Amino acid sequence: MSAPCYDPFPMSDLYQRAVASLLEEERESLTVLETWLPDRLPENLRSESHLLGDRPWGDPAELAKFLRCCSREHAKVETDEERRTGYQGSCTSFEGKGLPIERDRLPDRLLRYSRSDTVTRALIKKALGRQAKGSLNRELISIDEALAGLSTFSWDPRRMGEEDRLGRGKMVFATFEHPAGAPRDSAQGMAEALALPRGPLKDEFLLEFSYPTDSVTNHRFPTVAEAGWVPEFQPALEVRPDPARPDTCWGQTRPRGSSTPQPELVHGNASLRVLDRPPRFLGRFNS
Amino acid sequence: MSEPFRPSLRKDGTFDPDCLEQAGQRWVTAWLKERLSGHDPCFPIDKRGDEDPESLIVAILQDAGTVHPATNLIGGGILDLLDEARKRAPQVPPYLESALQICERVRLPRTSTWFTEELRRLAMDPQAVEESWGPDLTEEILYGAILQSPGFPRAASHESWRAILTMPRYATMAWMGLASSFDTSLGYMEDWWQVCPAPERQAEINQFVFTNLKTEGRQQVRELLRRHSRSWPDALKAAVDSALKKNGINEGLRAKRRIYESAIADAAIAA
């Protein structure tokens, strides 16, 4: 899979038509919002082309609804904090509205890279018992030592509960194996390839979850709504999905450094029961 | 959150706990409430890589240490959130699970009384507590209490933990709450064994042995096990033997006991 070429900040046709459908006061408010948004967020918003809901390719109605929601939230509050909360709230309301990805265009397995301590501890508790989580909490053992106790032979996903989820939100991000490859044995390498945001945390770990594509539902293109306040996200290029060009059939990450872009999609959150093999510990990375 | 305060970072990009002293309790509590609910205007939370809202707070606390003023401020903020959650129960506010995760991992002396009160409520009326929090959150509260209100013999929480040790669902948590060391854990092991649901016992003992072999060393584990196990039922000894074997120690408690007993018998015959 060759990496698609991106213009620096191409404004999508869908965005322009969505803006054109707004009332004048909504457009003005949107302009104020975009001037206020930091980093790449305004560029990402303007290049969004896959926030379609269940409408056909090129229909701007859903994106217009999203922009209207963002601009109204922005206009009705006064402080920066309230504005940020308003934007993130609008994003949350429009999660899972990306263009659906046809199942036959995806491989049979998906991968998900998680740095969630909480999900990992819940998983360890269910797989190895309450003492295991207690030992982790008290730092008597490390996460990698605990995970070493999970073998493929003894792994039983039925121990996971319905309340033990892959992630926190309604939708979660995923990727998959692809011909261009990925540094799957390096936490640092994967964090850069997936463009995980840099933050004030050091020495985080990364875990790989692997599960059948059919065990989760609602596969969709990721959009600015799922990305929320994270500028490292890159909206998919405005090209109608074409099976002859696989890179148009899902999103792509905007990797840091010289890493290869990785395929990116979202799907409905699901129970950890979908993990038909134990998670793999990649190691630690500095964000 | 209308105060103009902005937290600052050190040169290496990590959070500077000193800056929270300028922020004050009100700002810290409001920031915690927002962040642990999933929104942080200062440090956006990455959904793509599943960043936990609480991970930054845990890192700040671990960096600052127990006596730093930032720990006191964060502890006060968490206590305010726990109090608020108790008033709102059985409704679960969005920040509660993350707040509890912090309490499970970092010592926050200001929250100690809250956990002691919850232990007392659970010991006296488990049904009322489960109606407030539900069984899963109750378990998370107990994980927090293990660190914030451990059941040392003279602690206010000791009797509550003893009562909770008789409750099958929470017996393993109480065993951890009462045990300040491997030696004291062994003193409660038989009580725990009698109460813990049978399907859960072996996995818990496996992990208990694994952790203590790592922290105490082989010799100490075997010596203390031998000392404490004399009155244990055979099934418990067999479970410990199985855990030792799983961890690469083939001479278990029963083997030792058999060797010891046969040596006594040999000596008696010789006499």
| Residues B109, B205: Cα–Cα separation, whole Å | 30
Taking the C-alpha atoms of residue A176 and residue A106, their distance in angstroms, rounded to an integer, is 9
d(CA A190, CA A184): 6
B53 CA: distance to closest CA in chain A (Å)? 9
CB–CB of B44 and A196 under 8 A? Answer: no
Interface check for A119 against chain B (CB to CB < 8 A): the answer is yes
A85 touches chain B (CB under 8 A): yes
- Give strand pairing partners of A23: none
B131 found inside a domain: no
Q: What is the pLDDT of residue B84?
A: 98
Task: Using alpha carbons, select from A197, A39, A200, A202 the residue that is nearest to residue B10.
Answer: A200
Judge: A141–B211 Cβ closer than 8 Å, yes or no: yes
Phi, psi of A64 (to 5 degrees): -60, -40
Running along chain B, 271 residues long, what does each successive block of 10 average in pLDDT? 71 87 92 92 83 93 93 97 97 97 96 98 97 96 98 96 98 96 95 97 95 94 93 95 90 62 58 57
Task: With CB atoms and an 8 Å threshold, state whether A117 touches B55.
Answer: yes
Note whether B41 contacts A81, CB cutoff 8 Å: yes
Report the residue of chain A nearest B43, measured CA to CA: A199
Q: Is A285 within 8 Å of chain B by CB? A: no
Measured CA distances, B171 to A131, B136, B181, B190 (Å): 11, 14, 17, 11
A280 backbone dihedrals φ, ψ, rounded to 5°: -110, 135
Average pLDDT for consecutive 10-residue bins of chain A (287 residues)?
52 97 94 93 96 97 97 89 88 97 96 93 93 94 87 84 91 96 94 86 86 98 94 94 94 92 97 95 84
The C-alpha of B55 sits at a distance from chain A's nearest C-alpha, in angstroms, of 8
Q: Which of residues 114-173 of B touch A (CB under 8 A)?
A: 136, 139, 143, 146-147, 172-173
- Reported as a single tens digit per residue, the pLDDT across B248-265 is 888 777 665 555 555 555
In chain B, residues with a C-beta closer than 8 Å to the C-beta of A96 are: none
The answer, for A138 touching chain B at a CB cutoff of 8 Å, is: yes
- Burial per residue of A215-246, b for 16 or more beta-carbon CB atoms within 10 angstroms, e otherwise: bbeebbbbbbbbbbbbbbbbbbbbeebeeeee
Q: Which of residues 244-283 of A touch B (CB under 8 A)?
A: none
Laid out side by side, the sheet with A109-114 consists of A109-114, A204-212, A280-285
CB-CB under 8 Å, B13 with A198: yes
Chain A residues lying within 8 Å of B15, measured CB to CB: 200
**Residue B52 contacts A where some CB pair is shorter than 8 Å:** yes
Most distant CA atoms of chain A, gap in Å? 62
Assess B188–A contact: CB distance below 8 Å, yes or no: no
pTM for the full model? 0.87
Give the mutation candidate from A90, A164, A201 for the B interface (greatest B CB count, under 10 A): A201
CB contact under 8 A, A167 and B50: yes
* A2 Cα to chain B: minimum distance (Å): 23
* Structure ipTM: 0.89
Nearest to B44 among A168, A169, A230 (CB): A230
What percent of chain B has a predicted confidence (pLDDT) above 70?
92
Is residue B240, in this structure, part of any structural domain at all? Answer: yes
In this structure, is residue B224 part of a structural domain? Answer: yes
Structural domain boundaries enclosing B218? 181-271
| Interface-testing mutation among B47, B173, B200, with chain A (most A C-beta atoms within 10 A) | B47
Chain B CB contacts of A88 under 8 Å are 39
Q: Which of B1, B12, B136 sits opposite A163 (nearest CB)?
A: B136
The pLDDT value given to residue B262: 53
Cα–Cα distance between B214 and B197 in angstroms, integer?
A: 26
B35 part of a folded domain = no
Task: Tell me the DSSP string of B221-262.
Answer: HHHHHHHHGGGS-HHHHHHHHHHHHHTT--S-HHHHHHHHHH
Tokens of A56: 């056909």
Q: pLDDT at position B270, please? A: 61
Q: Touching check for B4 and chain A: CB below 8 Å?
A: no
CB B86 within 8 A of CB B50: no
Q: Which residue in A196, A201, A226 is closest to B56 by CB distance?
A: A201
Interface of A with B in 140-199 (CB under 8 A): 140-141, 145, 149, 163, 167-169, 172-173, 191, 194-199
CA dist B243 and B246 (Å) reads: 5
Specify the number of domains making up chain B. Answer: 1
pLDDT for B263 equals 54
Determine, yes or no, domain membership for B79: no
B164 located within any domain: no
Interface test with B, best of A77, A82, A137, A147 (most B CBs within 10 A): A137
Q: Note whether B104 contacts A233, CB cutoff 8 Å.
A: no
